Amino acid sequence: MENIILVVHLILAICLIGVVLLQRSEGGGLGLGGGGGGGVMSGRQAATALGKLTWAFAIAFLATSITLTIIAAQNSAGSSVLDRIGGGPATEAGDSPALPPASDLLPPISGDAPLLPPRAD
């Protein structure tokens, strides 16, 4: 079910991007306003139809977003990221968590560093 909603969500996102790009710029910032040539629909009717289509896609997009959020919350209820990776539950107070030794976490001391061979320039 989640995969179906996710596919619908992606299709809605692509359609919403397409409809927004098809709309005529009101400010004419790029100068590509589309002229006043006649077509099947006049300028105002096309703007109204594309506006309604934009609103419909936007509402459907938000609905699928909320639905996916609810499904994700239900799937993760009662589990932790640490439980999924095998970290187990948190330790009691006073117990030390299983950490690697400090020597593995620190860089080597200068005396422990390997010697570099001489450079042949």
From 18, 23, 16, 21, select the one nearest 60 (Cα to Cα): 16
Please report which residue ranges of the chain form alpha helices under DSSP H. Answer: 2-22, 43-76, 81-85, 102-105
Q: Give the pLDDT band of residue 1 (cuts 50, 70, 90).
A: confident
pTM of this prediction exceeds 0.75: no
What single-letter amino acid sits at 93? A
CA–CA separation, 26 and 42 (whole Å): 15
Task: Provide the residue ranges of all domains of the chain, joining segments of one domain with +.
Answer: 1-21+46-73
Percent of the chain with pLDDT over 90: 32
Average pLDDT (25-50) is 60
Residue 44, SS3?
helix
CB 17 within 8 A of CB 58: no
CB 24 within 8 A of CB 46: yes
pLDDT higher than 60, residue 68: yes
